[in-house]
Amino acid sequence: MSDHSLPDEIISEILSPALKVSDQLFSDNTGVSPFAKPSESTSAYLLVCKSWLRVATPLLYNVVVLRSKAQAKALSIVLSENDQLGQFIKKLRVEGGYGAPMHVILKSSPNISDLFLTLEIYSSDNTNGLCKGLTLINPTRLILRDLPFRPLENKMVSQLIEALSVSLSKWDLRVFECPFTRESNRAEKIIRPLVKVKRLHKLSIPNADSLSWAYSSFKECPLEVIRIKKSVSKWERKELPFQNSVLMALLDYTEASIFGQANTPKPDLEHPDIAPSLNLFFVPMAGAPKDVQDEVWSRVLYFAMSVPERANNPSSTVPRRLPLLLVSKTFNQLGLPYYYAHTVLSTVPAISKFGFVSLKNPSIGPNIRSLSIQCLNFGTNSSGAQGNPMFTPILSKASGVTRVVGYKGFADPNDTAVSMEISIPWDTFEAMAKCSGSTLREFSARIGTYQGTTVTATVFDDLTVLRRLDWKSPTGFALTNIHENGFQSLEDLWITQSSQSFLTALSLMRLKVLRRVMLCLSQDAQGDPPSPEGFLKAHGHKLTDLGLAQNIFETLSINVFDVCPNLRSLTVLVPMAVDGPPDTEYLYSTRAIPSLVKITLDVWYLPRDKNRFAAWEEFFVEFDPKCFPNLHEVEVKCCEWPTSERDIAKSCWVRGKQYDILFLPAGPIPDFETGDHKVPDGVMPFIATQAPKAKYILSVCGGAVYLAFAGVLSGKKATTNKAFYRPIVAATPKDIQWVAKARWVVDGNVWTSSGVSAGSDMTLAFIEHLAGPRVTRFIRGMVEIREVTEEDDPFAEFHGLV
């Protein structure tokens, strides 16, 4: 039989891009670690087959990134058991101290050429192992990270700096990426040995401001390049020492654009060279009929004036369109509708100018397809409460407009930007509804106050195709002649400001296709927001998405889920003025709501205060999602997820996280004679917090003991390691139904296995439960494990239990 396997060299070329860690990420010593974001584990490639395992192992260990003590400990165990793996490590990034395991890692990795270390180490960390191991390696490149302001000063940091100072005098270091920007004691201790041995060829500094100091500190080294990592702005470039020709010859930097980003090559938008026509009087399509010419040029101008791009994003940056209108009378005539098709008004004077243009040329109005009002009223006399009158000539003739948008979003009504938004006069809104009611699909501009007392709601009958409405107007409505077919196509309703009569009018309409409602109602003259209770009673059963400001919850006498039983998502807006999280009573239902899958807490501002964080932690403890059996996500906006091991341990967001699967591996077997159960700190409280809401709970070997003492196994069937079966049964609560002869036991959502090898069998059975037998058969074939059943337990007889 012929061998169709690929040579190792080809497999290596295939796997290298997938397993490669870019040097830009590896050497990033600014801000948050680029490896703090979750990503798929590349070790999965090693499990495909034996040839991939053989080829990919050196590639996987080529660049190693350590971000926690657990990772360092695991790697030290692997390297101590397999000496060859350490030979593959060429780049090592260590983002902490990580204790004694670092000595084992460095001792087992003699080929490290690139080393990343951080001086952002807290006193609770331990650098002893790292300091002892630095003398065992000889890297040619060192990347250091340190806090630019108020760097940490403690025993562990001082110990590491001293060890570095000793090692730097012995290393054959050629490249140093310096984190320091000015003179300091710690910088002096690092720089002195580098200058003394005079081996450094390449120096990298954080920014242009530190250039003079860095050059004076390292000028005795045989430098070939000084690289400035941060892109150099136009103003910083003016301050570069051009008079120092020696320094400028060493300098390597990237110029920044005016927005502070590094300049990147722009795509070549120039047209290809076309040979000039031999006929100087050539006119394209001269012999074609006029209507054919117009049709062709109209289509050309449609794309040349970026109509599709502006339709999707009116404020997007596109090439200038005005020069195209100046080419000829034909271009002006054909291009004018496209020029005004998607108009953006970004200043108050622009509104006035466009209004005058619309007055002089009424044919512009029917060509408008979308109008975006992206300006705020910073003065007191430009529009007033009634609205800017210059909108009237624009919108009263816009018979084909489909979108009129202003300040969009589920906003805090107390936000300054909302209160300063330019208003459209009520009369203009009525005229627009009559003129473009059959085309308008989205409206989110602010409407000014009506000068009279109340208006009729018949204006909404004209808006026959409106799908999205963001209502921002205090106008009152007469509750007579309310047609039930008003807003007949409305699907998405956002209300930031309204009168009580507007909500009542909506309650009297059918709104057959309404599915999404966001209510963030500002206070009226009496200091109270209008109540949406009648509106929710009338239309709540249709809604799939609902958003309510926290102050609205406080005024409701009904439970939201009683009137909105079909919600898929619920958003609670927590205004900036509110100190803490919402009351968990708002997120409680007397009956199960199986449709709800997501809850969003839209927090505008999250202060860094211990008491506030404690309130959020208490919120997650008290929040009980039992009435939402299919809830998959609770999103807290403004939440900053911790990115370091220290911050993770202290974060209330991590402690508030609920895990779907709780897996307890074989831990140290308790000493039942002395009563010393040797449970690691935090394990039992963690189990007590997570177990009640976990979808699945699994244990292997002695892990069942932790579950037993945590009360998880109460009244349930379970098994454990047969070698310690008798003392475990004697010491644990008597209401547990221990099964002596079983490879593993399943009782509800709790899976317990016998010894460690039985844990593999139970895990495969659990995978089959989740993903089906086909996936399990594939895994068994890859790792070569025979299929066994729950009753296949010869060790129960071996230990005399049956």
What mean pLDDT comes out for the span 149-175? 93
The model's confidence at residue 36, banded by pLDDT at 50, 70 and 90, is confident
409 pLDDT higher than 70: no
Share of the chain above pLDDT 70, in %: 90
What mean pLDDT comes out for the span 675-698? 77
Task: Give strand ranges (E) for 103-208.
Answer: 114-118, 141-145, 175-177, 202-205
What mean pLDDT comes out for the span 660-685? 68
Query: Cα–Cα distance between 467 and 443 in angstroms, integer?
Result: 9
Structure confidence by residue, pLDDT tens digits, 771-799: 888 888 888 887 788 899 999 999 999 98
What mean pLDDT comes out for the span 758-772? 92
Structure tokens at 461: 């009958």
Per mean pLDDT, which range of 101-115, 403-417, 706-720 is the poorest? 403-417
Per mean pLDDT, which range of 351-360, 365-374, 531-540, 636-645 is the poorest? 636-645
Pinpoint the residues of the chain covered by CATH 3.40.50.880. 661-798
Q: Which residue has the higher pLDDT, 648 or 120?
A: 120
Average pLDDT across the chain, whole number: 86
CA separation (Å) from 399 to 367, 369, 424, 508, 778?
8, 9, 17, 29, 63
**Short-list 729, 731, 736, CA closest to 715:** 736
Structure confidence by residue, pLDDT tens digits, 563-614: 999 999 999 988 766 667 888 888 889 899 999 999 999 887 666 677 777 7
The model's confidence at residue 269, banded by pLDDT at 50, 70 and 90, is very low
CATH superfamily of 661-798: Class I glutamine amidotransferase (GATase) domain (3.40.50.880)
Task: Give strand ranges (E) for 719-790.
Answer: 737-738, 744-747, 750-753
410 pLDDT higher than 50: no
pLDDT at residue number 265: 42
Pinpoint the residues of the chain covered by CATH 3.80.10. 8-252, 340-524
What mean pLDDT comes out for the span 60-69? 93
Structure confidence by residue, pLDDT tens digits, 75-112: 999 999 888 899 999 999 999 999 999 999 999 999 99
245 pLDDT higher than 50: yes
pLDDT at residue number 379: 55
Share of the chain above pLDDT 90, in %: 49
The model's confidence at residue 156, banded by pLDDT at 50, 70 and 90, is very high
* CATH number for the segment(s) 340-524: 3.80.10
670 pLDDT higher than 80: no
184 pLDDT higher than 80: yes
pLDDT at residue number 266: 41
What mean pLDDT comes out for the span 205-215? 91
CA separation (Å) from 243 to 229, 246, 365?
22, 9, 61
What mean pLDDT comes out for the span 277-294? 86
Q: Which 3 state secondary structure label does DSSP give 661?
A: strand
Query: Cα–Cα distance between 89 and 139 in angstroms, integer?
Result: 12
Structure confidence by residue, pLDDT tens digits, 525-565: 555 678 899 999 999 999 999 999 888 888 888 999 999 99
Question: Does the domain made of 8-252 have the CATH classification 3.90.550?
Answer: no
Query: Cα–Cα distance between 728 and 791 in angstroms, integer?
Result: 20
Structure confidence by residue, pLDDT tens digits, 714-725: 999 999 999 889
Which of 55-59, 583-587, 679-683 has the highest mean predicted lDDT (pLDDT)?
Answer: 55-59
pLDDT at residue number 331: 93
Per mean pLDDT, which range of 1-5, 330-334, 750-754 is the poorest? 1-5
CB 97 within 8 A of CB 160: yes
Per mean pLDDT, which range of 446-450, 650-654, 713-717 is the poorest? 650-654
708 pLDDT higher than 70: yes
CA separation (Å) from 273 to 118, 270, 276, 278, 294?
54, 9, 9, 15, 26
The model's confidence at residue 241, banded by pLDDT at 50, 70 and 90, is confident
pLDDT at residue number 386: 64
pLDDT at residue number 267: 41
